[in-house]
Structure 1
């Protein structure tokens, strides 16, 4: 039996182009799910499993945010080019050009969850639901919790990390190896990492412009333009049913996620006990069932 149809292409976005892929037909039986990947400066690859939702009547839209993957790369752009507003405008452009404004659900993972929350807080009339997965409510909160997690690393690991951060030698092999101790605990605990996750990881380091500018050299050393940004001040304005997802071992610790739970009026929170930052890969069966149960409310 043939699966849902897949279409791919590029959408004009000002002087640039946004790569997208749609699994399923538009319009579908149920609202389309639009997937916002993490980073910033990541790609859609590690979220490809969400395409399975198309078999349940939800068309699934993946796209690569500007600067990475199949979308336009802008290597010479100044740091102030890369802003949350830019990516919110890109999302609006995608929704308009694909004709999704009459009904859609956002799934935002990590940085994509913060972006999705900011979009939802503006109360767009076609938004039916919001999934915020493994996302902090602010980077100041994130940095505070990174200090806690770093202190729990095996003896000597954080000393190596901090020595390289102070010397601005975060591109060294020693820094990378120490960084991976953290990543294997709090980003993806599977061994080996799934191919789709490795693909995304390598995309960041093959083209680090956006990630290094907005975030920094690693998940836990945020020294980029986002270091003071957050969505706590607008979370209470979110007016659609919201599903929070996080992992028990997640770098997005409960303290970073809790403001969503406390501020969004209609919200529930699912914690995946055997996962870190990627429950959709680490506990895929439970993840899919939780997501399908939630999506029934949005149809």
Structure 2
């Protein structure tokens, strides 16, 4: 496999990218990976480099996390700038034809970008999608009620008293995460290591203090009324226990022409780690069928 890394100038700083391809795969349509967060970096998704046996795989760390610059300018943390960043990355890497795979917040970014009607996108994968922050918040309210009473109470009290940076809030959040984010026990090392590459400022500004307490500037984002405008092949995926619930993910599918759905039966929000082999197979077959 050949690997190329570098930096691209975007509004607010430089973003890092990596392209992986082989002599055999380099002539196929590349897939561009949009990581979650905002601010989670590509790190935990790097095993998707195994897709490079069939096509080029391109990762990049969005501004504010990973190997990219981490400016402190709060005005940079808005959806429109990230859409512009994606356009710039695609232009800089000469991605005339491309597949897009977005995970979690990466699906928010992918949808917002696609609704600008760019040319050359052959397909999109919405992996554990968030295409409506209000629906996401509603689903997490339901999920929180499945937690032990004492955990629910801790979360409620910390949020009401402005203590979302406290140790007790973080501990209670871990109880949520092990049910609805990653169900592997022990937590994979790659997920633990990914934590040090996260950018907190963009996450808190745009989303909030936790997955289930939406207070940032994305809290009113909802593109469900425009999903019928998508004129490309779409694959929706999620885990059976996902915070991006199967019910809501299938609802998105129902609004989208030419859309498929796949459920990962033994996963929560990170099937690319929880069921890695199956995830790679499903994604690889979908991409091959849409070249």
Tell me the TM-score normalised to structure 2 length. 0.96
Q: Following TM superposition, by how much is the alpha carbon of 1:40 offset from its aligned partner in structure 2, in angstroms? A: 0.6
Structure 1 residues without counterparts, runs of 5 or longer: none
Residue matched to 1:34: 32
Q: Aligned to 2:51, which of 47, 50, 53?
A: 53
8 Å Cα contact 1:137/1:232 also seen in 2:
yes
8 Å Cα contact 1:32/1:60 also seen in 2:
yes
2: CA distance, partners of 1:97 / 1:203: 24
1: CA distance, partners of 2:205 / 2:12: 21
8 Å Cα contact 2:154/2:169 also seen in 1:
yes
Tell me the TM-score normalised to structure 1 length. 0.93
1:111 aligns to 2:135 (yes or no): no
1: CA distance, partners of 2:180 / 2:11: 37
2: CA distance, partners of 1:128 / 1:69: 28
Of the structure 1 ranges 189-198 and 239-248, higher mean CA displacement relative to structure 2 is found in 189-198
1:9 aligns to 2:6 (yes or no): yes
Residue matched to 1:275: 267
Shift >6 Å, 4+ stretches: none
2: CA distance, partners of 1:7 / 1:157: 45
Q: How many residues get paired?
A: 290
Aligned Cα root-mean-square deviation (Å) = 1.5
Which digits, 9 at most, give the CA deviation of each residue in 1:114-158, with x for residues without a partner? 211222233322101100000122100001111100011012111
Q: Following TM superposition, by how much is the alpha carbon of 1:72 offset from its aligned partner in structure 2, in angstroms? A: 1.4
Q: Following TM superposition, by how much is the alpha carbon of 1:15 offset from its aligned partner in structure 2, in angstroms? A: 4.8
Q: Aligned to 2:282, which of 281, 284, 290?
A: 290
Residue matched to 1:81: 76
Structure 2 residues without counterparts, runs of 5 or longer: none
1:66 aligns to 2:63 (yes or no): yes
Q: Following TM superposition, by how much is the alpha carbon of 1:13 offset from its aligned partner in structure 2, in angstroms? A: 1.3
